[in-house]
Amino acid sequence: MLEVNSPISVVPKIGPKYQTLLEKLEIYKVEDLLYHFPFRYQDYTNVKNIQDIKDGDIVTVKAVLGTIQNIFTKNRKRITKAKVIDHTGELDIIWFNQHYIKNTLNVGSTYSISGKVGTFDRKICFISPEMEPSSDAFSSETIENIHTGRLVPIYPETYGISSKWLRSKIKFLLDYETDLEEFLPKELLDEKNFKNIGESLQEIHFPDSVELAKKVRERFAFEEFFIELLNVEKRKHEWSIKSNSHAFKPFENEIQKFIDSLPFRLTTSQIGALSEIINDLKKSTPMNRLLEGDVGTGKTIVAIIASYLAFLNGKKVLYMAPTEILARQHKETFENILGSSYMKIELETGAKKEKVKDKEWDILIGTHAILFTENKYKDIGLIIIDEQHRFGVEQRGKIVELAKGKYTPHLLTMTATPIPRTLALTLYGDLSISVLKDFPFEQRKVSTKVIPEKNRETAYQWIKVKNEPTFIVCPLIGVSESISLENVKAAQEEYEILSKGIFKNKKVGLLHGRMKSKEKEDVIQKFKNGEIEVLVSTPVIEVGIDVPDATIMVIESAERYGLASLHQLRGRVGRSKKEGFCFVFMSDNSRNSYSRLKYLEKLNSGIELAEIDLKMRGQGDIFGSMQHGFKKLKVANVNDLGMLEDAKVHAQKYFSKIDKYPKLLSKLTQRKGEYISSN
């Protein structure tokens, strides 16, 4: 018997090479392979006699292999030619450059052959069809075909792992005895009219009809939502029982005096969010709130005021940023607004050799290096996580554990990634959410244009004449990454081309994620100071780099990004009262890509753009920017609001009595570890 939680290497003929390849498909254990579902089916159910087939047919033929030979044609092409025969006639099969095939087939054996009928040398034939042995009239053995003569599953693949290979391995597991057990409650299966796990897996991989395949996908889609939302309920419950948090005094007069002293007025959204946060902080139950707001809506000042309130209550603050660049930038901002002489603000990053001591600070700002400290911080009243999608659920838990004492710290997480309501239900159902909707500068505007390649030179000439700080963002660092990505721009090569070409009389800089922290810091400082006028960068700038004077953003190969990510990139410009400009270039000429990118010209709402990507391209683009720490749904469609909300109701119902369902409870503790982006 195979255990489904065993490593995938226990499956026969899966050695280290295939184990490594399967990891690229996120297949680590036996259960992952069983849950590697087809994304479509090739219909080979149309079975015909040889005499009845015609050019263009997609059919299956059952026939005996008569002859097979390898041939070199006059123009040195290597082909393999076979002849198969049934009771109605004979048919040629042609393979190109696959001479090994001759050694895998047996003359005189019966085969099931599926594929598209074409022509070769003006004769109808199969070209590179699927073939597998088939039972014949003289044999008592019945062979179940999995590659031909049926709905054949087509899977997500990677180099070296084909759908044919996956079919064979999955079929082996389905036929072999494993310890796979049903974990959904029987009453839920009955209510939904779902089949049990064994039958369902058989039918999703090898369905007898399209209708059966659709029905069984419903089970697995609901299951995905259900388990995801049970985990939300679990997190909500675990947080609610941590009821020994510091109840902050609100210090209304001091907070109001501080707000009045700011050189700008808070927006209506900021005031509303602050009110919600302070109400949470006044309670002995720890706050667990997400502050969501577009780039430039002023999340940082809200975090600073919350930190100031913690300080007034005699408590320390841990502030987590996803990159060193952002951590240093936040330290500077905190010091400018709070005054470094008034409060002790320290920085902790992986690049720092000397670690700060607990008693030396009131606010500690750092990267995920804080996670790996040996310190157990004392008197932490508030933990703030910026760009929280870069930190997984377990990591957020570990941050809280670092500060664990008698009291659990309040937790405020922040993100500029726009979250459609449907995803907020699944991913953030355990959090209270505050949203910043308006901008500090009402006249803030970024004009966006999708530029055809023929107008590139004109756009660059305009940028040259405009003579204002400019970002040029490329998706890749170096050209070696783009071997199979024709026309996709790489930052290092673009830097060389531009600094020697159209911008040869300007100061051009380069920034990317592989540079050392000190190098990145120097480049950004030079850009801020005007010593660099054009900064060629990778999307490392997406997360929080603040250069108020920058007004022009050029985005190369924009079709490779989700609209929400593009919106965040253009949010790097137009951050002062000056108008911003964003020029969007494509590296392909797809009409679909062009029409999708045109939404950037019309819309300036991250939420609206995220919703559009959700409809046009699916969940991948949303999860693409939130890839660290969240499970990507395989079968469920986040646009299926009915199923999503139904699963939420059932998750709440069954979690309230989860102890009655030990198999379901164990499923909630088997989630794969989550990871942190270090850029």
pLDDT at res. 178: 92
**pLDDT tens digits for range 295-305:** 778 899 999 99
* Pairing between β-strand 363-366 and β-strand 316-320 as defined by DSSP bridges: parallel
Q: Of the ranges 140-144, 161-165, 183-187, 386-390, which one carries the lowest mean pLDDT score?
A: 386-390
Mean pLDDT across 589-608: 85
Residues recorded for the chain? 679
Pick the CATH number of 46-149 from 2.40.50.140, 3.40.50.11740, 3.30.420.10, 1.20.120.340: 2.40.50.140
Q: Report domain 252-436's class.
A: alpha beta
Say which residue, 486 or 425, is predicted with more confidence. Answer: 425
pLDDT at res. 618: 58
Q: How far is CA 593 from the centre of its chain?
A: 19
What confidence category does residue 391 fall into, taking pLDDT thresholds of 50, 70 and 90?
Answer: low
In the chain, which residues fall in CATH 3.40.50.300?
252-436, 446-604
Alpha-carbon distance values, 62 to 43, 85, 566 (Å): 16, 9, 53
Q: Of the ranges 90-104, 285-299, 376-390, 628-642, which one carries the lowest mean pLDDT score?
A: 628-642
Say which residue, 242 or 335, is predicted with more confidence. Answer: 335
Residue 354 has pLDDT above 90, yes or no: no
How many C-beta atoms lie closer than 10 Å to residue 179's C-beta?
A: 12
**pLDDT tens digits for range 241-262:** 766 889 999 999 999 999 999 9
| Residues near 318 by beta carbon (within 8 Å), at least 6 away in sequence | 364, 366, 370, 377, 380, 382, 383, 384, 399, 402, 403, 409
- In percent, the amount of the chain with pLDDT more than 90 equals 56
| Residues near 383 by beta carbon (within 8 Å), at least 6 away in sequence | 317, 318, 319, 320, 399, 400, 403, 409, 410, 411, 412
pLDDT at res. 489: 82
* CATH 3.40.1160.10 corresponds to the domain 446-604: no
What confidence category does residue 83 fall into, taking pLDDT thresholds of 50, 70 and 90?
Answer: very high
Closest alpha carbon to 226 in 196, 193, 183, 197 = 183
- In percent, the amount of the chain with pLDDT more than 70 equals 87
pLDDT at res. 388: 60
**pLDDT tens digits for range 654-671:** 999 999 999 999 888 664
pLDDT at res. 452: 87
Helix (H/G/I), strand (E/B), else coil: 78: strand
**pLDDT tens digits for range 543-554:** 657 788 899 999
For residues 636 and 153, what is the distance between their CA atoms, to the nearest angstrom? 18
* Pairing between β-strand 40-43 and β-strand 151-154 as defined by DSSP bridges: antiparallel
Mean pLDDT across 545-569: 87
What confidence category does residue 626 fall into, taking pLDDT thresholds of 50, 70 and 90?
Answer: very low
Residue 238 has pLDDT above 90, yes or no: no
Residue 478 has pLDDT above 50, yes or no: yes
H helical segments located in 241-322 = 252-261, 268-281, 299-312
pLDDT at res. 443: 52
What confidence category does residue 634 fall into, taking pLDDT thresholds of 50, 70 and 90?
Answer: confident
* Pairing between β-strand 534-537 and β-strand 123-127 as defined by DSSP bridges: unpaired
pLDDT at res. 610: 78
Average pLDDT, the chain: 86
In the chain, which residues fall in CATH 2.40.50.140?
46-149
